Amino acid sequence: MATEASVNYDRTKELKQFDDTKTGVKGLVDSGILNVPKIFIRPAEDLAADELNSSQKTIEVPVIDLSNIGDSIRRKEIVNEVKIASGEWGFFQVINHGIPLSVLDEMIEGLRLFNEQDLELKKEMYSRDSAKKVKFHSNFDLYTSKTADWRDTLQLTFLDSDPDPSQMPPVCRKSTMEYFKHIKRLGDALFELLSEALGLQPDHLNSIGCSKGCSIVTHYYPPCPQPELTLGVRKHADAGILTVLLQNHMGGLQVLHDSQWFDVHPTRGGLVINVGDLLQVLSNNKFKSVKHRAISSHVGPRISVACFFSGHASLLDKPFGPIKKLISEANPPRYEEFLLKEYFAKFFASSLDSKPPIDYYKL
């Protein structure tokens, strides 16, 4: 029976039908579906592996309080906490980071309004054109991945300049511009702490352009009728340098630590920070880029805002590799130098769950 079903199943056709609606996963939910379409259902072996990994865990991803960061004694403690969290977990949450709660709440609310606005307005922004700086879509790797994820995305890319307000969807323009302004400032501060945690001058990572290029990728995860069969985001590590994530109270983010999945519980006003593959390279493996995912849920929507710092556009043609000051006879380079342009081409040509581009450059 199963073979007969798979013979009659045309995956590409189903993907195209879904894509052509331009309404994303929310469109499926609004149509009243009771079962998850086959394109979203994970392979049986993945589902079985999850069964083995559902034990109760009490340890939490580290939470770092950034208040009194100007005090030299407290700053040393914060730097040490960042160093341990980045080396052991690759993830931490920051609180008292200086971004007002109202800015965070309005950012989430603006995205809710965008995703729940008149369908025709949203459809106008639907695109898979990589050259478009602002676009709405569902699953950037829809046609290359084994399984589609249960989410819709509004993507805003600013690698070489600050965002142009006129390109933003009107419904979330003001809140996004305000959030962007604050997140850039926080990015500078985080890269100073990370530089110090590596034993470098505070301005080291900022001076090489780490905090300059930034994309904001926002995800809207509608409630799912069969959350056990699919994921919000498949297991992956982030390709960029550093990610700053704002999530609403729903939760759903999980981090792979010691071969176990750990929930990252949302902290009111907190932001989740994680090391990307490129920071693992820069730090010569002192910092860890760790696999993570988002699960689906019967309830929703979950809304998240990931700000990916991936370096200024001017870095694309320059050799990229471990920071020279971190290399010695005792600690030889773990990666060969490469061009970021080639690295990102590899990332965007493959699916989220395939071989990470940094694996090609390991020594």
Nearest Cα neighbor of 61 from 238, 267, 209 is 267
Q: What SS3 state is found at 7?
A: helix
pLDDT, tens digit (0-9, with 9 covering 90-100), for 15-62: 999 999 999 999 999 999 999 999 999 999 888 887 656 555 677 899
Contacts of 80 (CB under 8 A, 6+ apart): 197
Three-class SS of 269-332: CCEEEEECHHHHHHCCCCCCCCCEEEECCCCCCEEEEEEEECCCHHHCCCEECCCHHHCCCCCC
User: Given pLDDT bands bounded at 50, 70 and 90, which one contains residue 130?
Assistant: confident
Nearest-angstrom CA–CA distance, 55 and 257? 13
C-alpha to C-alpha distance for 77 and 288, rounded to whole angstroms: 20
89-93, 146-150, 255-259, 275-279, range with the lowest pLDDT: 255-259
Q: Which amino acid is at 251?
A: G
pLDDT band with cut points at 50, 70 and 90 for residue 9: confident
Q: What percent of the chain has pLDDT over 90?
A: 78
Amino acid at 256: L
| Structural domains for the chain | 57-312 (2.60.120.330)
Contact partners, residue 345, CB within 8 Å, separation at least 6: none
Contact yes or no for 224/296 (Cβ under 8 A): yes
CA 283 to CA 9: how far, in whole Å? Answer: 46
pLDDT(157) > 90: no
Pair 325, 123: CB distance under 8 Å = no
pLDDT tens digits for 56-80? 567 789 999 999 999 999 999 999 9
Tokens of 69: 């960061």
Confirm whether pTM is higher than 0.75.
Answer: yes
| Residue pLDDT, tens place only, 160-197 | 667 788 888 999 999 999 999 999 999 999 999 999 99
